[in-house]
């Protein structure tokens, strides 16, 4: 699953040289594997435990990743302005779940 998440992020212009890249991959994987809704702070805490950093570091690094990618015209098709961390992670998780379940990426309805 990590390969699919990594490829999705790379395909959407997310650069892997940021610390937040690996944190985002882990956060998206946690959301995909969760059976129920997880608050974003809980996700940050789980990622922070995996990498031995604070949850605040995880949040800040993912935010920096999104901001840097957005400045370089990140092609997220359905979000007209820079997403919050939670929006970014949930959007990516939703699309990857669809891909993993054999479906195509969701298309906007008119």
CB atoms within 10 A of CB 50: 15
The pLDDT value recorded for residue 110 is 33
In angstroms, how far is the first alpha carbon of the chain from the final one? 31
Check whether 15 has a pLDDT greater than 90. Answer: no
Question: CB-based contacts of 3: which residues, under 8 Å, 6+ apart?
Answer: none
Check whether 31 has a pLDDT greater than 80. Answer: yes
Residue ranges making up the domain that contains 12 = 2-100
Domain of residue 24, CATH code: 1.10.10.10
The pLDDT value recorded for residue 67 is 86
In a domain, 10, yes or no: yes
In a domain, 105, yes or no: no
In a domain, 26, yes or no: yes
Check whether 109 has a pLDDT greater than 70. Answer: no
59, two tokens: 């949040």
CB atoms within 10 A of CB 26: 20
Check whether 58 has a pLDDT greater than 80. Answer: yes
Q: pLDDT tens digits, residue range 94-106?
A: 999 988 887 654 4
In a domain, 46, yes or no: yes
Residues 99 and 4: beta-carbon distance below 8 Å: yes
Q: How far apart are CA 17 and CA 10, in angstroms?
A: 11
pTM over 0.85: no
Domain count, the chain: 1
């Amino acid at each position: 699953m990590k390969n699919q998440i990594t490829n999705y992020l790379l395909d959407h212009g997310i650069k892997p040289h940021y610390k937040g890249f690996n944190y985002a991959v882990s956060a998206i994987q946690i959301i995909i594997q969760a059976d129920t809704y997880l608050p974003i702070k809980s996700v940050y805490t789980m990622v922070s435990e995996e990498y031995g950093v604070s949850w605040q570091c995880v949040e800040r690094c993912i935010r920096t990743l999104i901001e840097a990618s957005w400045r370089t015209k990140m092609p997220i098709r359905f979000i007209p302005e820079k997403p919050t961390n939670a929006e970014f992670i949930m959007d990516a998780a939703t699309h990857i779940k669809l891909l993993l379940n054999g479906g195509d990426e969701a298309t906007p309805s008119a």
